Amino acid sequence: MTIRLIRGDITVQESEAIVNAANSSLMGGGGVDGAIHRKGGKAILDACIKIRNKQGKCRTGEAVITTAGLLPAKYVIHTVGPVWNKGKSNEETLLSDCYRNSLRLADEYQLTSIAFPNISTGIYRFPKDLAADIAIRTVRKYKDEHPDSSIREISFICFDSENYDLYESILESTQE
Ligand code: AR6
């Protein structure tokens, strides 16, 4: 399982699954969520509506999977990151849950590649340095604990250079 760092737009990635930083309504929004629904087309929203009708809202830290519609990926894994509340609402654990539950879902579907955005670090205001640290630690732990995982490649897609620089320095300074 290799970990890649990429600067850019997650909607153009060709990983089998891309992860969406959604909200619990699953009905779309701004940021990366808006971009995925806009470019992926109506099929994604239709699939989200079906999930809503079946299970209700998606809770913070959990993940669901849909088609990727018109995007190059096959699937979108929608996960709901925590809104930053000065660290007083279990946000660190919930953010870690987002990464772990997305990876678990990818494994359930026997997927070989998955791309993550920097969940919660935009509209939800999670501190970027702490979020990067949690993302990298959680993914590495998952990798160590799941030697039989179908996932061969995990990509972190950083849209802004601040996140890219943080990931680069953490990945370099904490080699596996
Ligand atoms: N590709 C990759 N990353 C992106 C893209 C893109 N096209 N666009 C933005 N980012 P955000 P959140 C980065 O705000 O903080 C929505 O309204 C962005 O630079 O998208 O989890 C949802 O519906 C940032 O680093 O998600 C929720 O209501 C990261 O994606 C709420 O926002 C996450 O920023 C979720 O907030």
The protein residue whose alpha carbon is closest to atom 18 in ligand 1 is 122
Q: Give the integer Cα–Cα distance in Å for 1 and 145.
A: 12
Parse the chain into domains and list their residue ranges: 2-173
Encoded tokens for 79: 């996960």
Residue 83: is its pLDDT beyond 80?
Answer: yes
Is any ligand 1 atom within 6 A of the Cβ of residue 124? yes
The protein residue whose alpha carbon is closest to atom 31 in ligand 1 is 123
pLDDT per residue as tens digits for the range 1-50: 899 999 999 999 999 999 999 999 999 999 999 999 999 999 999 999 99
Strand ranges (E), 52-146: 63-67, 75-80, 113-116
Q: Please give the model's pTM, rounded to 2 decimal places.
A: 0.98
When pLDDT is cut at 50, 70 and 90, the band that residue 147 belongs to is very high
* Topology (CATH) of 2-173: Leucine Aminopeptidase, subunit E; domain 1 (3.40.220)
Is any ligand 1 atom within 6 A of the Cβ of residue 149? no
| Mean per-residue pLDDT, 126-138 | 98
